[in-house]
Amino acid sequence: MAAGATYVPIATQTLGSSATSVTFSSILGTYTDLILISFAQGQASGGDNRLVLQFNGDTSTNYSTTYLYGNGTSAMSARDSNRGQVDNVTQIGDSGSSSFSPFIHHIMNYANTTTYKTILQRGNDAGDTTTAYRQVGTSVSLWRSTSAITSIVIKGLGGNSSSGFSAGSTFTLYGISAA
């Protein structure tokens, strides 16, 4: 069995000031999976800060997600179908606090042009200023497209409205190549 080093950092972005979104573009198709690791805080007031993804500029209702999460009291599951983005499994930290939220998205077999794309997500929002948003969870999402993913937009939402990410939020994209 031949082995080769992989898990290659492709690009990283640390926000020096707030931004509505972060884009990774011109992603080459040379890897098998992509891993996006985010450590982010949102700009919306009221606590409902969200981190969502869109691929290749597609804002149509081609996305869906099944969730498993807990809020400290109960374990729950939910589903969103025919959505315009890969939705967040939990909220993220709020502007004005020191809380940032870690998210990891595994974007599987992103460059293949035969199947739809499946995304595994883990995230938590342990330090949210709103108690009800202090959750941990995982989810699986589907993007109903056979196109290879060449760009990823990461958007910061407040509820369903654009609000952005705080300065200091970090986003790093890695590539993994199978043998």
Binding site for other proteins (CB under 8 A): 1, 3-13, 15, 19-28, 30-33, 64-70, 74-79, 81-82, 106, 108-109, 112, 114-116, 118-120, 122, 138-142, 144, 146, 153, 171, 173-179
Compute the least distance from the CB of residue 163 to other proteins, in Å: 13
Output 131 or 179, the one with its CB closest to other proteins.
179
Nearest-5° Cα angle at 163, 162 to 166 = 140
Compute the least distance from the CB of residue 81 to other proteins, in Å: 5
Q: 21 near 169, Cβ under 8 Å?
A: no
Output 79 or 131, the one with its CB closest to other proteins.
79
Closest CA to 149 of 22, 8, 14, 32: 32
Phi (first) and psi of residue 68, to 5 degrees: -135, 125
Compute the least distance from the CB of residue 14 to other proteins, in Å: 10
Output 47 or 165, the one with its CB closest to other proteins.
165
Output 129 or 151, the one with its CB closest to other proteins.
151
Output 59 or 82, the one with its CB closest to other proteins.
82
Compute the least distance from the CB of residue 174 to other proteins, in Å: 8
| Exposure letters 73-94 (e unless 16+ CB within 10 A, then b) | eeeeeeeeeebebbbbbbbbbb
Q: Which residues contact 132 (CB under 8 A, 6 or more apart)?
A: 71
Helix (H) or strand (E) holding 54: strand 49-55
Compute the least distance from the CB of residue 104 to other proteins, in Å: 10
Residue 119: CB atoms within 10 Å: 22
